[in-house]
């Protein structure tokens, strides 16, 4: 099963203001893949169980540098960090003093991170469908072609070409809603933000070199 933070890292980067000619949310996504190189944003994420009860509320920040590099940091209610340099992905849990390392392909596969931090090959990995407008937003559905992806679909809601909401439905019946704020498009980002050195004494699991 894919690490839950990987599932959302890439999803948080669909924050590009779309050109005026965009006809639907699918055009918004294609514009993002074509035009956006870097993103910086804050997010709030709520998880609900099968009965729609709220189970978790997470706040954090995202940095993205295409293709394939991102830094996902949660601050409340607990600290966790996911960093990808485009070749490997590190999952760091400060409380457990544990680092899990995976290759980029192993960690991302058919996840939204691959969809949104990747390149123009995304339509080979996902079945993309523009949905009817709802609640003032323009929606896109992305279904992974890989049946082992760990989630059934994600829905992206755009307002005036800008991503306003992301809803992910996993294979356990959970719904995870992410909302975005303080978004910057194509900011200059220090490349060192997309590298990670495990703290001394950390328990390292996976690829170490």
Identify the H or E element spanning 104.
helix 104-108
- How does pLDDT run across 160-182, given as a tens digit for each residue? 767 778 888 888 888 888 888 88
Lookup result for tokens 């990808």: 84
Q: How many domains does the chain have?
A: 1
Confidence at 117, pLDDT banded by 50, 70, 90: low
**Taking 90 as the threshold, does the pLDDT of residue 110 lie above it?**
no
**Is residue 204 a contact partner of residue 198, using CB atoms and an 8 Å limit?**
yes
**Taking 90 as the threshold, does the pLDDT of residue 195 lie above it?**
yes
- Find the CATH number of the domain harbouring 11: 2.50.20.10
The chain-wide mean pLDDT, for the chain, equals 78
Query: Token pair of 117, please?
Result: 């931090």
**Is residue 58 a contact partner of residue 73, using CB atoms and an 8 Å limit?**
no
| Per-residue confidence (pLDDT) for residue 113, from 0 to 100 | 58
> What range does the domain containing 79 cover?
4-206
Peptide bond into 77 cis (omega under 30): yes
Confidence at 15, pLDDT banded by 50, 70, 90: very low
Q: Of 76-85, 115-124, 141-150, 187-196, which range is least confident?
A: 115-124
| Per-residue confidence (pLDDT) for residue 189, from 0 to 100 | 96
Round to whole Å and give the CA distance between 84 and 133.
34
């Amino acid at each position: 099963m894919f690490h839950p933070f990987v599932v959302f890292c890439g999803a948080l980067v669909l924050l590009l203001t779309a050109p005026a000619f965009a006809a639907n949310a699918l055009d918004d996504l294609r514009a993002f893949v074509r035009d956006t190189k870097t993103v910086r944003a804050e997010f709030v994420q709520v998880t609900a169980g099968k009965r729609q009860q709220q189970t978790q509320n997470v706040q954090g920040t995202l940095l993205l540098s295409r293709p394939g590099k991102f830094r996902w940091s949660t601050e409340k209610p607990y600290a966790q960090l996911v960093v990808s340099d485009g070749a490997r992905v590190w999952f760091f849990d400060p409380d457990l003093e544990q680092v899990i390392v995976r290759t980029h392909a192993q960690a991302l596969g058919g996840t939204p991170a691959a969809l949104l931090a990747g390149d123009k090959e995304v339509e080979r990995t996902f079945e993309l469908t523009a949905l009817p407008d709802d609640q003032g937003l323009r929606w896109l559905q992305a279904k992974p072609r890989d049946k082992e992806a760990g989630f059934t679909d994600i829905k992206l809601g755009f307002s005036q070409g800008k991503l306003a909401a992301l809803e992910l439905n996993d294979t356990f019946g959970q719904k995870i809603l992410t909302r975005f704020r303080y978004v910057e498009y194509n900011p200059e980002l220090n490349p060192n933000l997309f590298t990670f050195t495990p703290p001394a004494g950390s328990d390292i699991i996976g690829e170490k070199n």
